[in-house]
Structure 1
């Protein structure tokens, strides 16, 4: 198997090195020229990210994005529609003001979490309290619990440093760096164990604090980078939950610890909008020879709302929209039908794509190939065969048509393994459809933009996204033109060393179609 993989990679490299020997294809040449000289990526990104903004499922901005995409496709002559697959809790973010008013006045940097219960216009004013250290057991915690009544409760660990590890690595001595990490690990372990001794975990304790009369919850989900926090959802039903950036959160914690009790004034406005229909946006260029066989371009449309969802998954969305524009302009009569799926509620469990798979078995069974992009702004650097035994036979020939300056950055892994989750390609792989993830260079994605308050337009590397659009358009063209239908034969999966049993192919899962209920 090892020798086979090496041979596969070498063979693919040989194909790429022979690129200049192939005849030029006018469709491919036109796609490349248009993408490089008349790219629509920047204006599309501005309209989607700056004007519409984040696309949290159940928000008016998500609906606005769906309608915008349909209109944009129609302006290019591409048929498009919004396809309902479920309902979600409707909610709209309003303003957040977090101010410390004692022992001195300072406006703090933070925001309410998604689906946060709204405060009144006057907001909430209360002292700050920390969770007790060295909790003995659940009984002692219950005795302490009345102390939270009328207080803002700090529920995150106070970080020992606000400098990312790479900054320590560059400037600290080796001994100092190791000492910091050891102390941080010990502190994190003790924090988790202390929470555990309450009889609850970091999630369930929030409800307990709310029921005990807390005025609000203050958290800080640091993302291990300068100025970045993860922004997810509130777990409270009536009181506000806000996330503060590390620097301000640490200051509050130290003040509370030292007996200089800080007082906060928090205004966190939002609107509850009832049950809201949820959609996938589907666009289509009908096939001329094999209209019932499909190429699918795939990217989730929704985002979290700490930033504007630029790299998760604005960039994937831009790639698929631009690829579809290029294909419509220079390949308007494909052999097979080319679909693009902009999936809703991926962030809550691949719901939109799972719904499409469940609702359209007639399409899924005739998928020639699906190309998905979902992990940041960087150029594509890896493509796996996803566990399809003969994926090399067709993917390598399609990649042969892509310019060398793009493919030279791409490593391939054949036959690869099936994805069990992570992004929407997994929904199709589970149903046996050849679906491939175009995995990108991460540009510090996990720390700096993935689900953070810094996932914004300015983080996009448009040269890389442009190359990804060219790659996707050419792969779609080649897959459509291929005389052969792609093989769906799966590899025999290896044994699981932990269980001693053979691994099994992922199974299709049903979506959550009625989501976001309190």
Structure 2
């Protein structure tokens, strides 16, 4: 064959091949979008995870139920999945909690037992409620500790208003709003001084009151929104700790302050379950051309249990599950292995993901990329390059294939600086692997749903979650198809504006492998 004809034929073949590849890519992306929009499983998954399984506190049977549910769901979709043990934790199960004021009148209170709080038993504990004794200094406080014996002790500041600031700003006169804030600031300073004079830290104080014979601890951690409190864990080992709504806590405080001697009955039927295993759930679609290279979708599976953990991190979990379901259906033979990591015990220090990084160096070494989603129900609006010098080269190319209706909301920061905590992507960044957080807009996340008693199904904005599914699935597809490996070259970190010292790359840390267990 004539040399010129051979070159022409080769060029024609390459052009046809490129055109077919482009057509295939376009078709796959369109199929992903159509499946996400026309056949979404998000609402059903949310119901099963949040309404049926419920909150997912590490060490509880509900956390284990969640792992089993996810494994079964993936298997139903034809996706390989398994629970992978990484440690152990203090086992505990929440039971019925009921708190009633029985004097000076009868009223059921909005309250709940804190995580890992000791049980009261079925008969409950009935006692007078008092305010933590006021003292001149730590010695004086120690001398007054006998006052708490047999009493429920209130250790949180009473809030002067249950209205969030934006409500005040809308309706109050400017003078009234400023006066309220000034009075609140003054009260906070007085309360902080009162606690400081005990000579004890916030977590040491309940233990001291327990040792002095208190019947229980009463807290209220208002989250600056109507009807919403932060709900974390107890610091007591023998007596119950409860969190009470701002409204009911304020009533109890005023009754105690005015000398009306309020009495409450607390029934909190939790169970201690000894040592239990802790897991991650790992699901994957095996790669066909480069099975030992990995695209990882990441979301922590656990939650606090003041509510059902809908936006922290139910929504992130749903995004990754739905994205993998769609990829299995529309892209069943990926070039690289696409994996989902549902991490356990993120809330106590990124434990599940840190354990995975430590236990699977071969996967971390061969990661193409990791995408993590955590912070709430909103559509993704920010992606940082996390200090990887050439992150723009590949992320920019992949994002270009995402519909403009999705990317129009997204701001990027390249190259950025390495994330050091806050969510599980940081575990992989510390190991030098290209991991990125898909950060979403607020929807008042910090005040209303982050670790609160209002983080429930009804707070999910499914249009935004579907938006994030489309983004995640297309990014995973593009990362799998990319002929090039992603660069891990890091930037030269700048001097910290805060400390004035040279910044360094974060160091990998192992998980807490035996949580809340005595040595």
Q: Provide the C-alpha distance between the structure 1 equivalents of 2:305 and 2:137, rounded to a whole number of angstroms.
A: 37
- How far residue 23 of structure 1 moved from its aligned partner, in angstroms, is 9.0
| Match in the other structure for 2:72 | 71
Q: Provide the C-alpha distance between the structure 2 equivalents of 1:235 and 1:107, rounded to a whole number of angstroms.
A: 25
Matches within 5 A, 1:214-253: 214-253=214-253
| Match in the other structure for 2:158 | 158
| Match in the other structure for 2:354 | 354
| Match in the other structure for 1:306 | 306
Q: Provide the C-alpha distance between the structure 1 equivalents of 2:84 and 2:133, rounded to a whole number of angstroms.
A: 50
* Contact 2:133 2:147 survives alignment (8 Å): no
Matches within 5 A, 1:363-378: 363-378=363-378
Matches within 5 A, 1:438-477: 438-477=438-477
- How far residue 77 of structure 1 moved from its aligned partner, in angstroms, is 0.6
The alignment status of 1:131 with 2:132, answered yes or no, reads yes
Question: Unaligned 5+ residue runs, structure 1?
Answer: 1-20
Matches within 5 A, 1:490-501: 490-501=490-501
Q: Provide the C-alpha distance between the structure 1 equivalents of 2:24 and 2:85, rounded to a whole number of angstroms.
A: 44
Q: Deviations over 1:165-221 (max 9, x none)?
A: 110111111121111112111211221121111111222111000000000111001
Matches within 5 A, 1:370-449: 370-449=370-449
- How far residue 500 of structure 1 moved from its aligned partner, in angstroms, is 2.9
Count of residue correspondences: 497
| Match in the other structure for 1:9 | none
- How far residue 497 of structure 1 moved from its aligned partner, in angstroms, is 3.4
| Match in the other structure for 2:262 | 262
SS of the equivalent of 1:94 reads coil
Q: Provide the C-alpha distance between the structure 2 equivalents of 1:439 and 1:383, rounded to a whole number of angstroms.
A: 6
SS of the equivalent of 2:371 reads strand
Q: Provide the C-alpha distance between the structure 1 equivalents of 2:501 and 2:417, rounded to a whole number of angstroms.
A: 16
Q: Provide the C-alpha distance between the structure 2 equivalents of 1:499 and 1:57, rounded to a whole number of angstroms.
A: 35
Q: Provide the C-alpha distance between the structure 2 equivalents of 1:189 and 1:294, rounded to a whole number of angstroms.
A: 52
| Match in the other structure for 1:509 | 509
| Match in the other structure for 2:193 | 193
| Match in the other structure for 1:13 | none
Q: Provide the C-alpha distance between the structure 1 equivalents of 2:463 and 2:498, rounded to a whole number of angstroms.
A: 43
SS of the equivalent of 2:302 reads coil
Q: Provide the C-alpha distance between the structure 2 equivalents of 1:498 and 1:297, rounded to a whole number of angstroms.
A: 33
SS of the equivalent of 2:56 reads coil
- How far residue 65 of structure 1 moved from its aligned partner, in angstroms, is 0.4
SS of the equivalent of 1:277 reads strand
- How far residue 374 of structure 1 moved from its aligned partner, in angstroms, is 0.1
Q: Provide the C-alpha distance between the structure 2 equivalents of 1:461 and 1:282, rounded to a whole number of angstroms.
A: 26
> What TM-score does the superposition give when structure 2 sets the normalisation length?
0.95
Q: Provide the C-alpha distance between the structure 2 equivalents of 1:45 and 1:312, rounded to a whole number of angstroms.
A: 13
SS of the equivalent of 1:25 reads helix
| Match in the other structure for 2:488 | 488
* Contact 2:133 2:145 survives alignment (8 Å): no
The alignment status of 1:35 with 2:42, answered yes or no, reads no
SS of the equivalent of 1:396 reads helix
- How far residue 271 of structure 1 moved from its aligned partner, in angstroms, is 0.7
- How far residue 517 of structure 1 moved from its aligned partner, in angstroms, is 2.6
SS of the equivalent of 2:473 reads helix
- How far residue 22 of structure 1 moved from its aligned partner, in angstroms, is 9.5
- How far residue 499 of structure 1 moved from its aligned partner, in angstroms, is 3.5
- C-alpha change, 1:22 and 1:191, in structure 2 (3 Å) is farther
- How far residue 355 of structure 1 moved from its aligned partner, in angstroms, is 0.2
RMSD of Structure 2 on Structure 1 (CA): 1.1
Question: Unaligned 5+ residue runs, structure 2?
Answer: 1-21
- C-alpha change, 1:24 and 1:285, in structure 2 (3 Å) is closer
- How far residue 498 of structure 1 moved from its aligned partner, in angstroms, is 4.2
| Match in the other structure for 2:175 | 175
> What TM-score does the superposition give when structure 1 sets the normalisation length?
0.95
Mark the structure with the bigger radius of gyration.
2
SS of the equivalent of 2:465 reads helix
Matches within 5 A, 1:26-105: 26-105=27-106
- How far residue 132 of structure 1 moved from its aligned partner, in angstroms, is 2.7
Q: Deviations over 1:302-323 (max 9, x none)?
A: 0000000000000000000000
Q: Deviations over 1:234-268 (max 9, x none)?
A: 11111111000000000000000001110001101
The alignment status of 1:345 with 2:336, answered yes or no, reads no
Q: Deviations over 1:314-351 (max 9, x none)?
A: 00000000000000001111111111000000000000
- How far residue 24 of structure 1 moved from its aligned partner, in angstroms, is 6.7
Q: Provide the C-alpha distance between the structure 1 equivalents of 2:496 and 2:457, rounded to a whole number of angstroms.
A: 42
| Match in the other structure for 2:7 | none
SS of the equivalent of 1:217 reads strand
